Amino acid sequence: MPDFFSHPSAFIDPGCTIGSGTKIWHFSHIMTGAVIGEKCNIGQNVVISPEVVLGNNVKVQNNVSIYTGVICEDDVFLGPSCVFTNVINPRSAVNRRNEYAKTTVKRGASIGANATIVCGNDIGEYAFIGAGAVVTKTIKPYALVAGNPAVQIGWISEFGIRLHFDDKGFAVCTESGEKYVLKNEAVRKI
């Protein structure tokens, strides 16, 4: 007996790995070779393609498509209807399965509703991709990005609070009290 939950309407292909405590909801399809960590939540109408890897505690909201080539590390949030691509120049009549580009969403990152992540562009730790953004380049850790194409509009804490740095490059998350430093266009928690 599996130690994860799947709704009766979900379809799970043989050969998947699904961690304990994970929940898979209505009409979702987990394809052969997908690896899903522990305590994940897979919403309704989600497609997880072969060889996709989700870490522990990944939250996938409704109507998300995660295609081969995508790796999501622990504690990633994927908002409703966000999409990953895996081929730069798709054509119906041209088979490019050997050209799938890799995309890694690093630990703690969040991707907003209806955002599109163009393949080959990694998302840094704790980055926050705004709703509807179209990511066409690699995103730095703790970056806050929005728009089409997505541009960086600020920095964000691990709690998802916008950071405001003083003239010495220090900021404090107003929710957690955690401290951050901005140096050479990179943020780290101190």
Q: What is the DSSP letter of 45?
A: T
Q: How far apart are CA 175 and CA 19, in angstroms?
A: 31
SS3 content of the chain, % helix, strand, coil (to 5): 0, 35, 65
Contact in structure between 145 and 134 (CB atoms under 8 Å): no
- Which CATH code fits 5-90+98-156? 2.160.10.10
The residue among 117, 119, 157 whose CA lies nearest residue 133 is 117
Residues in the chain: 190
Q: Using the structure block, give the residue that is written with the tokens 């990005």.
A: 145
Domains in the chain: boundaries: 5-90+98-156, 160-190
Q: Encode the chain (190 residues) as per-residue pLDDT tens digits.
A: 679 999 999 999 999 999 999 999 999 999 999 999 999 999 999 999 999 999 999 999 999 999 999 999 999 999 999 999 999 999 999 999 889 999 999 999 999 999 999 999 999 999 999 999 999 999 999 999 999 999 999 999 999 999 999 999 999 999 999 999 999 999 999 9
